[in-house]
Amino acid sequence: MKAIPTNKTIYMILRAVMILFWVYVGIEKLWQPEAFKIALQQQPLISMYASVLFWLLPLSEVSIGLLLGFPTLRLQAWGWRASMLLITLFSIYIGLGVLNVYDRKPCMCASFLSNISWTKHLLVNSLILIFSLAGWLINRSRLDNLNKNITAAIPMALLVFSFLTPALVQYSSIPRVQSKYRWILPDSLYQIPAYDSVSRPIVGSLAYRYDRYTESYRHYLFTNSMQANSMTNQLLACSAERRVALC
């Protein structure tokens, strides 16, 4: 049994058909400007706007094809809407001609439809309108699924943010002293008021012994070796000192 084509496959086919259609009819008008200009001047009701429509119609048609060709679903949605609007206007204009509302029949503007009757032309426009409507409906369903996925990802993003916020607040509360060139952490834990030996004797005693017995090693490892490094490395190194002293 043959597999039933999915909405994605149908959507790709509809996009390809509509892109080819709109780009072709738009470029054809620009490729044969004189013939298109004469056809506009012979149209009933809109011949007075021939100079405006001469540029507006082909550029609009090519723009619709370009919108449908973009990979973004939202831009494609605008292309489907514009396609439905433009083909609806064409169908209404041709339908009035089929009903003999005008004093003369409209003139064909697309050469590949010039050999068919106006009734068949209206049927072709109706088919293009159905394609545009189907493409827009599939596009909207895919956009709804995309929005649902984005909505589902918001709680996870908030959860991650709630974990990161306390860490950032704690990191920003670390005391710093200003040197000549940059902001760095104090080289000695005993210089920090929070670890004063009077208010916190145990922590202060540990900090004092830590400074006393590791001064030369720390001076070499955390001061001289970090002078050529970035601010981030110095902060990480001094933060490591603090964790050792508090353990």
Q: Mean pLDDT for each consecutive 10-residue tract of the chain (247 residues)?
A: 66 92 90 84 82 90 93 91 93 85 68 72 90 92 74 60 60 53 45 49 62 62 52 48 44
Domain range list for the chain: 7-144, 170-246
Burial (CB count <10 Å: 0-12, 13-18, 19+), residue 126: middle
Q: How far is the CA of 152 from the CAs of 145, 148, 160, in angstroms?
A: 11, 6, 14
Q: H or E segment at 178?
A: strand 177-178
pLDDT number for residue 231: 47
pLDDT number for residue 142: 86
d(CA 128, CA 218): 77
- Write down the pTM of the prediction: 0.56
d(CA 48, CA 56): 14
pLDDT number for residue 204: 60
